[in-house]
Amino acid sequence: MEPYRILIIEDDPAIGQSLLDGLKHYGFQAELSVDGTGGMNHAKQHATHLIILDLRLPDGSGFDFCRRMRQAGLSQPIIMLTAQQDETDKVLGLEMGADDYVTKPFSLRELVSRIRAQLRRAYGEYSVAESTAIVINDLVVDQATGQVHRGDEAINLTPTEFRLLTYLARHRGQALTRSQIVEAVWGYAPDVESEKTVNVHIRRLREKIELKPDQPALILTVPGIGYRLAK
């Protein structure tokens, strides 16, 4: 099996080279772009499995490039590098379409753990899930293709949003804690920050699949517990 290809979009030469060397040491095929425009063009032209995207780039904001990548149909996982303790950056990055974030300074081992979790879920067990479709009211969730439709309309979900919806659908009617969701969808032990991440992704998912996102009828909040998919 060929190694997974990781694209690093980072303008700091020291951090970029360190990530290149470190990821290659762990068996990944890594490439570096020093600005957002070049990185986005590379992602469009090459079969990159995952993108590591720095927040602050010389030609624009990582938020904007993340949003533009999603609008362009790039669906591979995106891990955003954010400033430490800046919760606003983290939430905004997730709302723009990032799948996860790592705060600077970070350990290479932590980053590799996050990368592996995203790859496992994007190309591992969820990608080979049973081919039967799940019907949720007027939505059809095709586990074989990773697509969601409402009638003839295709609903564009990120890999994390698709995994989240599929997990809720497989446990339809069951109240799921945020900790359970983090472990199942993201693949690592939950903490306070990761549980906040669930809230952001639930909000984004509601905006895409609910007819009235401010009055959700599909993904329901269970006070004091978490969320459940309506029966």
Q: What is the pLDDT of residues 107-147, one digit of tens each?
A: 898 999 999 988 888 776 545 444 477 888 889 888 777 88
Comparing CA positions, the residue from 93, 205, 106 lying closest to residue 148 is 205
Q: Which residue has the tokens 């950056």?
A: 89
How much is the pLDDT for 16?
Answer: 93
- Of the spans 68-77, 191-200, 211-220, which averages the highest pLDDT? 211-220
How much is the pLDDT for 130?
Answer: 47
Q: Give mean pLDDT, residues 81-107.
A: 82
Q: Give mean pLDDT, residues 79-108.
A: 83
pTM tops 0.75, yes or no? no
The CA distance from 176 to 10, in Å, is 37
The fold of 133-229 is Arc Repressor Mutant, subunit A (1.10.10)
pLDDT in tens, 200-210: 999 999 999 99
Query: Is domain 5-123 classified as CATH 3.40.50.2300?
Result: yes
Domain-wise residue ranges, the chain: 5-123, 133-229
Greatest CA separation for the chain: 52
pLDDT higher than 60, residue 106: yes
The CA distance from 225 to 78, in Å, is 28
Q: What is the CA 30 to chain-centroid distance, rounded? A: 19
pLDDT higher than 70, residue 85: no
Both structure tokens of 100: 């996860």
Per cent of the chain over pLDDT 90 is: 54
The CA distance from 212 to 88, in Å, is 25
Comparing CA positions, the residue from 200, 202, 193 lying closest to residue 167 is 202
Comparing CA positions, the residue from 113, 82, 75 lying closest to residue 97 is 75
